[in-house]
A = this chain, B = another copy of it.
Amino acid sequence: MNLFDNISSKNVMKLLYVLESSKVVVKKNQLFLRNIAEQNMIGFIDEGLVEVIKTDYNGNRVIVEELEENDVFGTFVTPLNGEHELLALEDSVIYIFDYDEIIKMKMDKDYYNQFVKNLLLIMNEKIIQKNNRIEILTKKSIRHKLLEYFDIESSSIGLRVFHLPFTFTELADYLAVDRSAMQRELKNLKEEGFIEVKGRKITLLYDKY
């Protein structure tokens, strides 16, 4: 699901104009949008590759999210505050919308209504992802977090074998647990015959329920 699905490129142009979107063109390795939290905004990656980066109180930079073409970001998608900034990994083109502008707009055009619906569908996807993560994070042990994650991942494709969409280090972040403790638990699960791990390929050896 993309923001401009079912809208002709001609009408996309009109939208960009009417909604007073601003076009941001950045070069590779350029930092931009230093204070993204200030506005109630929606960003759209038209071309390129961008990372959302958070600088924590220690001054450590953490990658919050990676955004590719057609991805949407903004306060309504990811929690962004003054600590966040964006880094272009490639030359990129980004459009910035004002969320309130979109809502306030009175406009009787098909393409505008389609746009709002697209936004709705995207938010729906995001909510499902967030619900899944909350479901995982509320589990009280690393083991149960892992198993919940595995179940969600495997159910979504309907197979008991799947590939991790990120590194184990990132998985630990996603589950909000210590990496080495997670590694220990993965080892236990392997030894007890619950799972098989080959690189990022995970096979669930237990039956669902």
Interface residues of A (CB under 8 A from B): 75-79, 99, 103, 108, 110, 113, 116-117, 119-121, 123-124, 126-128, 130-135, 137-140, 176-178
What is the bound-complex CA distance between A130 and B76, given in angstroms?
A: 10
Contact A127 B77 (CB under 8 A): yes
One complex includes copies of this chain to the number of 2
Most chain B CB within 10 A, of A77, A99, A120, is at: A120
- In the bound complex, do residue A79 and residue B176 qualify as a contact, i.e. CB atoms below 8 Å apart? no
A140 and B176 within 8 A (CB): yes
Pairs A–B under 8 Å by Cβ, sample size 5: A76-B128, A79-B128, A108-B110, A116-B116, A134-B137
Chain B residues within an 8 Å CB radius of A130? 127, 130-131, 134
Shortest distance from the beta carbon of A113 to any chain B beta carbon, whole Å: 6
Q: Note all chain B residues with C-beta closer than 8 A to A135.
A: 79
A123 & B123 in contact (Cβ 8 Å cutoff): yes
With A75-B128, A76-B127, A116-B117 known, 14 other A-B pairs at CB within 8 A are A76-B124, A76-B128, A77-B127, A79-B131, A103-B121, A108-B110, A116-B116, A120-B120, A120-B123, A130-B131, A134-B137, A138-B176, A140-B177, A140-B178
Contact between A134 and B132 (Cβ–Cβ < 8 Å)? no
Q: Which 3 A-B pairs have the closest CB atoms?
A: A137-B137, A138-B176, A79-B131
Q: Which of B119, B126, B134, B138 contacts A120 (CB 8 A)?
A: B119
Q: Which residues of B contact A119 (CB under 8 A)?
A: 120
